[in-house]
């Protein structure tokens, strides 16, 4: 992910330029316990970082120390008419982390700047994500910005933005799951009274643009129900078709309720992991027609029948 997502009227880092200038990026996570610094293992699946469940670290008891190394090359490509900043300007690199849900953000600027006569440079960032702060995800981005505007801008550079502080590219965009693992359809199993139904969908669709899927919806199975054996993967009578049918119906309900609760287009770009991002994913991937409950139902079932 190298481009900023919003519509922009000045040149920003393109995929092609990103390939040219990024030599390598590495991240490590650790926490201090009993006077010792312990590494936290993680998996990075398509820029979605989730932590090893066997680790003793958790975001309530320990601060999470983050170390990021960004190595850049061919830096002169960033400047001039084919670049993203005027020749005599300076580019800064920073780390921005934030949690929309936690209402918190921080920006850490690299001391060293990128100049047009630079070729290679390495940047190291060390910062801490504080304990007792997060639920869900934290976004960690590395941004290029214009740290010093050019005094003279050549005629062929007029299209470039020369305003100090303006964002001109995204070097890294990670979604870090501080709790949960970002599974796309959260499921909870709990023993409810036997007269309760086998499953129900619990939705909290307020603020769908910032709320994580895991916070906004959950499919609850009643483990005390007589038919639970058919949806329990550990049972001999497990029926995957029934389980699929229930998840399919839960997706239909979710999309219908969401459609009812807000003006609907899903044409924007939404933060990964949020309810709207998930709905947009469903819309695009499942090719959903939102005209009515029947058309939603038809689209989702059609996809489900394909068994993908």
Partner 1 sequence: MAYKTLRLEKIKEIYNRFLVDSTVDESTLDPNFRELRNICIEEYAKLESESQALNGDSKKYYIDLNFGFFIFEYLKSQEDFTAKYESNYDFWRYFAVCVIPDLIAKRWNVEKSDHFYSKPTAIYPFQIYWYINLSWQGNKEDTKNVLKDNLEDQILQLVDRPSSIGVNLALYRRIMYKLSLINPKSRQKVFRAVMMKNTAKLVSIRPELYEGGINAYVDMLYQI
- Site residues (vs partner 1, CB under 8 A): 6, 8, 60, 92, 94, 96, 98-105, 107, 109, 130, 132-135, 143, 145, 147, 149, 161, 163-167, 202, 204, 206-207, 209-210, 271
Query: Which CB, 206 or 305, lies closer to partner 1?
Result: 206
Question: Under 8 Å CB-to-CB from 19, ≥6 apart: which residues?
Answer: none
Query: Which CB, 221 or 304, lies closer to partner 1?
Result: 221
Whole-number minimum distance, CB 164 to partner 1, in Å?
Answer: 4
Token pair, residue 80, equals 């001039």
Whole-number minimum distance, CB 265 to partner 1, in Å?
Answer: 17
* Radius of gyration of the chain from its Cα atoms, rounded to whole angstroms: 23
Query: Which CB, 21 or 277, lies closer to partner 1?
Result: 277
CB of 83 closer than 8 Å to CB of 154: no
- For the chain, report the end-to-end CA distance as a whole number of angstroms: 26
Whole-number minimum distance, CB 6 to partner 1, in Å?
Answer: 5
Query: Rounded distance, CA 250 to CA 35, Å?
Result: 47
Whole-number minimum distance, CB 166 to partner 1, in Å?
Answer: 6
Q: Which of 108, 87, 112 is nearest to 97 (CA)?
A: 108
Query: Rounded distance, CA 152 to CA 75, Å?
Result: 20
Query: Which CB, 48 or 200, lies closer to partner 1?
Result: 200
Token pair, residue 177, equals 């799951």
Query: Which CB, 87 or 276, lies closer to partner 1?
Result: 276
Whole-number minimum distance, CB 245 to partner 1, in Å?
Answer: 24
With H, G, I as helix, E, B as strand and everything else as coil, classify residue 216.
Answer: helix
Judging by DSSP bridges, how do beta strands 121-129 and 64-72 pair with one another?
antiparallel
Looking up tokens 């994913």, which residue turns up?
281
Whole-number minimum distance, CB 287 to partner 1, in Å?
Answer: 27
Query: Which CB, 161 or 222, lies closer to partner 1?
Result: 161
CB of 276 closer than 8 Å to CB of 210: no
Judging by DSSP bridges, how do beta strands 217-222 and 187-190 pair with one another?
parallel
């Amino acid at each position: 992910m190298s481009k900023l997502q919003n519509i922009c009227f000045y040149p920003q880092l393109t995929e092609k330029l990103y390939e040219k200038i990024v030599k390598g990026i590495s991240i490590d996570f650790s926490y201090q316990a009993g006077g010792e610094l312990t590494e936290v293992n993680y998996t990075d699946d398509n820029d979605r970082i989730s932590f090893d469940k066997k680790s003793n670290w958790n975001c309530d008891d320990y601060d999470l120390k983050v170390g990021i190394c960004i190595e850049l090359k061919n830096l002169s490509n960033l400047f001039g008419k084919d670049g993203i900043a005027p020749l005599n300007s300076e580019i800064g690199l920073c780390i921005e982390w934030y949690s929309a849900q936690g209402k918190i953000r921080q920006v850490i600027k690299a001391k060293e700047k990128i100049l047009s006569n630079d070729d290679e440079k390495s940047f190291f960032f060390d910062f801490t994500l504080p304990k007792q702060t997060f639920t869900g995800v934290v976004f960690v981005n590395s941004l290029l910005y214009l740290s010093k505007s050019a005094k003279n801008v050549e005629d062929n550079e007029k299209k470039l933005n020369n305003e100090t502080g303006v964002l001109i590219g995204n070097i890294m965009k990670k979604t870090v799951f501080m709790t949960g693992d970002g599974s796309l359809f959260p499921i909870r199993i709990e023993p409810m009274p036997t007269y309760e139904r086998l499953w129900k969908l619990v939705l909290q669709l307020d603020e769908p643009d910032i709320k994580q899927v895991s916070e906004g919806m959950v499919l609850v199975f009643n483990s005390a129900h007589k038919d639970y054996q058919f949806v329990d993967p550990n049972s001999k009578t497990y029926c995957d078709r029934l389980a699929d049918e229930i998840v399919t119906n839960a997706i239909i309900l979710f999309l219908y309720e969401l459609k009812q609760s807000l003006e609907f287009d899903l044409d924007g770009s939404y933060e990964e992991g949020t309810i709207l991002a998930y709905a947009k994913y469903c819309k695009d991937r499942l090719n959903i027609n939102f005209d009515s409950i029947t058309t939603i139902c038809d689209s989702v079932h059609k996809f489900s029948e394909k068994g993908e």
